[in-house]
């Protein structure tokens, strides 16, 4: 029971991170109907920017941890947003209306490029970081097993919930959110009624990149090690989360992220750690075969 509870906590933390990345996939898919294969790399860049900001703050002597966290959060979001914007402008923007595989191939190219770019400018070595937030609550000491809920896990979950609330408000209530929903429904019609489609798409990528940056920061804080290759697996898992939740649906992405996080945690705990990635891939395949619309997605009607 204690063991189960611990896995539940770990799974939810992991799931929050996947969910934040998955929103980037699902938003982009909803609006332009393509898989942003480079989104995992954007998340990886967010993690790198976080670690760099942490170190720089440490060097200039900022020791007040809440302030440091805020600065890192802002810096990761702003600089990663620049990457998200550039990726869209360079690799996808010129391809709107091209044949259907073109944006996907371009995205794979972008993904390879970013991975190797980071490897070149930051080195291939694993980047470790000393834990910034330590400690936590311990409870349910039963059967020689202590359930731990660390402060960092609380920060991750609270931050994710806060972001989701803000994000839902943005989509439901603001002009930008309205423009996004309009583009999602019919891009041509939205353009006719005066929505700046290009700007809306750019901002969608920017928002996705910002959420991915937060996820990157969380991973840096949570695991304390990153390298240039983390974007690949995290990207595929977050994509699986987006598909599981129903691609195009924002609550679905979060739900899918939580489910994937939980499945991964329980699979590692009760079956085998080696095959936890296989479990996620199998879920992806099974979802696509039996319920391609996902849990909360709308059916995709193919028009001729």
Partner 1 sequence: MDLRALFKDAGLAAFVAFMLALPMVGFQTVDVSGGVGLTVVTRFGDVAISVALVFVGRLALSLLHHPSWRLPILLVSAALALGLLVVKTPYPVITWLTVLASAVIAVRAAWLVFDLSGVIDRDEGNRLGDAAAFIGRWFGPVFVLFAVIFPFLPTTSRYLLDLGILVLTYVMLGWGLNVVVGLAGLLDLGYVAFYAVGAYSYAIIARDFGLSFWACLPLAGLFAAFFGVILGFPVLRLRGDYLAIVTLGFGEIIRIVLLNWGSFSGGPNGISGVPRPSFLGMPFHPNPPEGTTSFHQFFNIDFSAEHRIVFLYYLILILALITNSFTLRIRKLPIGRAWEALREDEIACRALGINPTNTKLTAFAIGAMFAGFAGAFFATRQGFISPESFSFIESAVILAIVVLGGMGSQIGVVLAAVLLIGIPEFFRELAQFRMLAFGAAMVGIMIWRPRGLLAHREPSVRLPDAAGARR
- Applying CB under 8 A, the residues found at the interface with partner 1 are 34-35, 45, 48-49, 51-53, 55-56, 59, 75, 78-79, 82-83, 85-86, 90-91, 94-95, 98-106, 108-123, 125, 127-130, 232, 236, 239, 243, 274-275, 277-278, 281-282, 284-285, 288-289, 292, 302, 304
Shortest distance in whole angstroms from residue 166 CB to partner 1: 23
Shortest distance in whole angstroms from residue 15 CB to partner 1: 19
Closer residue to partner 1 in complex, CB, 64/100: 100
Return all residues near 48 (Cβ < 8 A) that are at least 6 apart. Answer: 118, 122, 127, 216, 226, 228
Shortest distance in whole angstroms from residue 255 CB to partner 1: 19
C-alpha to C-alpha distances, 88 to 43, 76, 153, nearest whole angstrom = 15, 18, 32
Closer residue to partner 1 in complex, CB, 104/157: 104
Closer residue to partner 1 in complex, CB, 61/100: 100
Q: Distance between CA 201 and CA 87 in Å, rounded?
A: 12
Sign, CA torsion 269/270/274/278: negative
Closer residue to partner 1 in complex, CB, 121/175: 121
User: Around Cβ 116, how many Cβ atoms within 10 Å?
Assistant: 13
Shortest distance in whole angstroms from residue 27 CB to partner 1: 16
DSSP state letters, 79-143:
HHHHHHHHHIIIIIGGGTTS-TTHHHHHHHHHHHHHHHHHHHHH-SS-EE---SS--EEEEEEET
Shortest distance in whole angstroms from residue 8 CB to partner 1: 25
Counting beta carbons within 10 angstroms of the beta carbon of residue 171, is it exposed (0 to 12), middle (13 to 18) or buried (19 or more)?
A: middle
Closer residue to partner 1 in complex, CB, 128/142: 128
Shortest distance in whole angstroms from residue 303 CB to partner 1: 9
Closer residue to partner 1 in complex, CB, 192/302: 302
Shortest distance in whole angstroms from residue 152 CB to partner 1: 18
Closer residue to partner 1 in complex, CB, 6/227: 227
Note whether 209 and 40 are within 8 A (CB). no
Note whether 6 and 148 are within 8 A (CB). yes
Q: Distance between CA 103 and CA 163 in Å, rounded?
A: 29
Return all residues near 265 (Cβ < 8 A) that are at least 6 apart. Answer: 7, 8, 10, 11, 14
């Amino acid at each position: 029971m204690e063991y189960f509870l611990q896995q539940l906590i770990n799974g939810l933390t992991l799931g929050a991170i996947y969910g934040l990345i998955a929103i980037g996939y699902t938003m982009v898919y909803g609006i332009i109907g393509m898989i942003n294969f480079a989104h995992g790399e954007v998340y990886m860049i967010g993690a790198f920017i976080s670690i760099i900001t942490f170190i720089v703050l440490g060097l200039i002597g900022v020791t007040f941890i809440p302030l440091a966290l805020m600065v890192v959060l802002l810096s990761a979001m702003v600089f990663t947003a620049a990457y998200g914007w550039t990726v869209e402008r360079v690799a996808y923007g010129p391809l709107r209306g091209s044949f259907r595989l073109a944006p996907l191939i371009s995205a794979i190219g972008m993904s390879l490029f970013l991975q190797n770019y980071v490897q070149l400018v930051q080195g291939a070595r694993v980047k470790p970081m000393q834990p910034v937030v330590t400690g936590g609550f311990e409870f349910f000491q039963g059967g020689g097993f202590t359930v731990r809920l660390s402060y960092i896990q609380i920060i991750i979950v609270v931050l994710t919930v806060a972001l989701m609330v803000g994000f839902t408000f943005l989509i439901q209530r603001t002009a930008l959110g309205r423009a996004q929903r309009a583009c999602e429904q019919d891009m041509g019609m939205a353009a006719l009624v005066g929505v700046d489609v290009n700007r809306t798409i750019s901002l969608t990528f920017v928002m996705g990149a910002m959420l991915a940056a937060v996820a990157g920061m969380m991973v840096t804080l949570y695991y304390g090690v990153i390298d240039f290759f983390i974007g690949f697996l995290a990207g595929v898992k977050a994509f699986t989360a987006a598909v599981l939740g129903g691609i195009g649906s924002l609550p679905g992405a979060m739900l899918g992220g939580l489910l994937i996080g939980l499945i991964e945690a329980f699979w590692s705990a009760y079956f085998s750690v080696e095959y936890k990635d296989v479990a996620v891939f199998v879920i992806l395949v099974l979802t696509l075969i039996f319920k391609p619309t996902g849990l909360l997605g709308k059916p995709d009607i193919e028009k001729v």
